[in-house]
């Protein structure tokens, strides 16, 4: 049975720390095109959820707004590029700019320990 993670989002404002991590993550050059940057990330059922920024995907003429909640598809590959984790899914490539306090990094490390990742 999958674990349940309760998430409370009170606003779309980001902290100074999150903003600085997003800026540093978006300034870096990556080996693949980036679909979105994720702040407050956590792993649930082999997917990553968090707050999306600079989302490149467009749906019927509209682009997802910064600060929208995002859940990726199943994560196939994980690797570190520079100081940031890059998650590759069937639907795109996502950079984790910051983890959700308390559960984010713990869920990520648990995910890494469950299988072979790059």
**Model confidence band, residue 116 (pLDDT cutoffs 50, 70, 90):** low
Compute the mean pLDDT over every residue in the chain, rounded to the nearest whole number.
82
Among 55-59, 98-102, 111-115, name the one with the lowest average pLDDT: 55-59
Q: How many CB atoms lie within 10 A of CB 37?
A: 25
pLDDT in the model for residue 108: 95
pLDDT in the model for residue 91: 87
- What residues does 80 pair with on adjacent strands? 85
Its pTM stands at 0.79
For the residues 102-116, what does the mean pLDDT come to? 89
């Amino acid at each position: 049975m999958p674990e349940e993670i309760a998430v409370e989002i009170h606003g779309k404002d980001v902290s100074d720390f999150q903003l600085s991590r997003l800026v540093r993550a978006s300034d870096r050059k990556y080996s693949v095109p980036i679909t979105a940057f994720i702040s407050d990330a956590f792993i649930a059922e082999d997917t990553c959820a968090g707050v999306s920024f600079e989302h490149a995907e467009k749906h019927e003429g509209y682009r997802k707004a910064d600060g929208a909640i995002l859940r990726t598809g199943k994560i196939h590959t994980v690797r570190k590029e520079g100081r940031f984790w890059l998650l590759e899914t069937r639907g795109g490539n996502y950079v984790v700019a910051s983890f959700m306090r308390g559960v984010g990094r713990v869920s990520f490390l648990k995910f890494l320990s469950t299988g072979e990742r790059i």
